[in-house]
Amino acid sequence: MLYNSTQDKTAVVSAAQAISQGISKDGGLFVPQEIPHYSEADFKSLLQEDYKGRAKKVFSDFLTDFTAEEIDDCVTKAYTAQKFGGDNPAPMTYTSLNGKSLNILELWHGPTCAFKDMALQILPHLLTKSLKKTCDGKDAVILVATSGDTGKAALEGFKDVEHTKIIVFYPVNGVSPMQKHQMNTQEGANVKVCAIEGNFDDAQTGVKKIFTTTEVSDKLEENNMLFSSANSINWGRLLPQIVYYISAYCDMVNDGKIAFGDKINVVVPTGNFGNILASYYASLMGLPVNKFICASNANNVLTDFIKTGVYDKNRQFYTTISPSMDILVSSNLERLLYMICGNDDTVVRDWMTALKTEGKYEVSDDVKAVVTEKFYGGFCDDTRTKATIQKLYAEKNYLCDTHTAVAVNVYEQYVDATGDNTPAVIASTASPYKFSKAVLEAVAPDAELPASEFEIVDKLNALTGVDVPAPLAGLKDKTSRFSDVIKADEMQDYVLGALSIK
């Protein structure tokens, strides 16, 4: 199977090249040229498999330049019971709220307690094998822009991985204290973490710019290095996310929650549009999805886009209690639009150019019609997010994080507006303890708020009895290694300095 750029169809690469490079030189994203389709028999056989078996099947159908042994090796090393706290790294929890069933897909049992681990525990294995196939002997420099969770998950995945170096940029005031502490205490000889004065979009734009600046990539080339990406612009990030939607469906069938062949809805708290796009790919492969419910926080650029067909990032940026979704440029939307407009690279390039120059584009009526038919967009502000956490905890004793609460709230809005009772899989993307302050304020509004992050964690734990994930509890005693803060326009210089090739 081959891949090409969304902005230049003639930029054709293998899977290994797509993963090594991360992004196409023209600035477009790599997409598969065909999508495998699973028959009823295929799905039936996946019902019998465990998570790793399901992952191997999906990976082997997309990564046709990898051998079965290579895929086996990647999957086996990534999804260990030790790293994910059990044999199923993505277990379902069934609960309900106000009479609405909530089928919660818990994606945060990995080493950094956010769903990013599902992809970033396997990406380093995919990448080192890809590098070997495409440019043996070179070192990959992973540049990451993060709104909090990707950074830590990527650091943890890539720490001390041979032939890789990783540099993470995060918005100085845009991540939770726990996220900051997780990143700044990161161990490993090949890692670097730096804050930037700006928001996530500034960090992402900066990284994309470094990637596509020829003079920088030439410099790396001279030094036997190349850039790669661990953001969801990398196909190697998206592919692992397809697996858990298929796996969730199989689990729900096996658990007797749905009958084989039943349709489901999918609800995803969305930022960069990677997670929800993965569910869309799963549906193109044959997974019976009725509606994709795209949940945003106050940064509701996607809600408006799904309603109007106009993507307009010229608006107030809000810092919210669900910081991993504080994003105004959702990069992976580009992949969706490419597919929906019939693989028209010219039109996608025009829209993305307009986004860059005017901060805005409008899709054609045909494309808009498909988007509104398949997707529902909704949003939820911080007050309602907290109310949702409180209600779910009070009614069902289920403690969810702020991002998951946005999804639950938007799902309620959707059912109230449409009456659609199709069983819905709700992606739960982080442990509540990553956002302890907001979660504590939600469940105990009158409680006194302790000064330090770890006291807040302890208080939330004492109050709810919900276990603190071991990787977060263990951070308490770690010392900070990184404290750099720079301006967004200093990122390029910083990278060259960090690599000692200025």
Q: State yes or no: residue 18 binds ligand PLP (CB under 6 A).
A: no
* Rounded Cα gap, residues 360 and 301, in angstroms: 11
Min CB(106)–ligand PLP separation in Å: 12
What does the DSSP assignment read for 53-98?
Answer: HHHHHHHHHH-TTS-HHHHHHHHHHHS-HHHHTSS-SS-EEEEEET
Q: What tokens does 59 get?
A: 């990976």
Pick from 21, 112, 204, 270: which binds ligand PLP (CB under 6 A)? Answer: 270
Given the residues 52, 56, 116, 391, the one annotated as active site: 116
Q: State yes or no: residue 429 binds ligand PLP (CB under 6 A).
A: yes
Min CB(431)–ligand PLP separation in Å: 9
Contact flags string 373-412 toward ligand PLP, x per CB under 6 A: ------------------------------x---------
Min CB(237)–ligand PLP separation in Å: 9
Min CB(403)–ligand PLP separation in Å: 4
Pick from 124, 271, 432, 469: which binds ligand PLP (CB under 6 A)? Answer: 271
Distances from the Cα of 379 to the Cα of 234, 414, 489, 493, angstroms: 27, 10, 32, 38
Site residues for ligand PLP, window 301-330 (CB under 6 A)?
324-325
**Which range, of 41-49, 134-142, 269-277, 446-454, touches ligand PLP by CB under 6 A?**
269-277
Q: State yes or no: residue 430 binds ligand PLP (CB under 6 A).
A: yes
Pick from 114, 252, 336, 426: which binds ligand PLP (CB under 6 A)? Answer: 114
Amino acid at 126: L
**Which range, of 18-26, 272-280, 411-419, 437-445, touches ligand PLP by CB under 6 A?**
272-280
Pick from 27, 206, 269, 471: which binds ligand PLP (CB under 6 A)? Answer: 269
According to DSSP, the β-strands at 375-379 and 289-296 are parallel
What does the DSSP assignment read for 221-246?
Answer: HHTTEEEEE-STTSHHHHHHHHHHHH
The angle at the Cα of 484, spanning 480 to 485, to the nearest 5 degrees, equals 130
Q: What tokens does 403 get?
A: 């991002």
Handedness of CA 217, 219, 221, 226 (dihedral sign): negative
Min CB(36)–ligand PLP separation in Å: 22
Query: Based on CB atoms, which residue is closest to ligand PLP, 273 or 494?
Result: 273
* Rounded Cα gap, residues 196 and 146, in angstroms: 11
Residue 168 in contact with residue 427, Cβ under 8 Å? no
Helix (H, G, I), strand (E, B) or coil at 279: helix
**Which range, of 53-61, 187-195, 263-271, 280-288, touches ligand PLP by CB under 6 A?**
263-271
275: nearest Cα among 295, 301, 298, 304: 295
Query: Based on CB atoms, which residue is closest to ligand PLP, 276 or 367?
Result: 276
**Which range, of 70-78, 163-171, 270-278, 491-499, touches ligand PLP by CB under 6 A?**
270-278
> Could you tell me where the beta strands, DSSP code E, fall in 115-274?
139-145, 164-171, 191-197, 225-229, 264-269
Is 152 a known active-site residue?
A: no
Q: Which residues of the chain form contacts with ligand PLP (CB under 6 A)?
A: 114, 116, 149, 232, 269-275, 324-325, 403, 429-430
Q: Which residues are catalytic?
A: 116
